[in-house]
Amino acid sequence: MTQADPAQIVESVKFLLKSVRQLSDRFRETNTRLERSFEAVEADIADLAGRLERVEADRGGGGANDGPAGTTPAAPPPPSGRGLEPAPVPALNLPISQLIDTYLSTPILLEPFCRPCSLSGRTLSGETDQVELEVFPQGTTWAVEMVVGPWLLLPRPGSLERRAQVQSLERLFEIEGAAALPATLHLHQPATALAVQHGRRWTLQDRGKLSVIPDPLRQNTAQLLADLEARLARLEEGGGQPG
CA distances from 218 to 23, 45, 70, 223 (A): 71, 41, 12, 8
Q: 172 pLDDT exceeds 90?
A: yes
62-71, 118-127, 170-179: which has the minimum mean pLDDT?
Answer: 62-71
Which stretches of 69-197 are assigned E, i.e. beta strand? Answer: 114-119, 132-135, 141-144, 151-155, 173-177, 183-189, 191-197
For 62, phi then psi, to 5°, come to 75, 30
Contact 197, 163 (CB under 8 A): no
Rounded Cα distance, 112 and 195, in Å = 19
Q: Identify the residue with better confidence: 67 or 18.
A: 18
Lowest mean pLDDT among 15-19, 60-64, 193-197: 60-64
Q: How confident is residue 13, by pLDDT bands cut at 50, 70 and 90?
A: low
| Burial class for 49, CB neighbours closer than 10 Å (0-12, 13-18, 19+) | exposed
Report d(CA 152, CA 146) in Å as an integer.
7
**Please, are residues 61 and 119 in contact by the beta-carbon 8 Å criterion?**
yes
- For residue 200, the SS3 value is coil
pTM: 0.56
At residue 71 the predicted structure's pLDDT band, cuts being 50, 70 and 90, is very low
In tens, the pLDDT along 178-195 reads: 667 788 889 999 999 999
Judge whether residue 81 has pLDDT over 90: no
Question: Residue 233: its pLDDT value, please?
Answer: 74
Give the model's pLDDT for residue 91.
93
Per-residue pLDDT of 29-39, as tens digits, reads 666 665 665 56
Which amino acid would we find at residue 236? Answer: E
Q: What is the pLDDT of residue 241?
A: 52
Q: Are 40 and 72 in contact (CB under 8 A)?
A: no
Cα–Cα distance, 80 to 78 (Å, whole number): 6
Percent share of the chain, pLDDT over 70 = 55
Cα–Cα distance, 212 to 176 (Å, whole number): 6
Confidence check: pLDDT of 144 > 80? yes
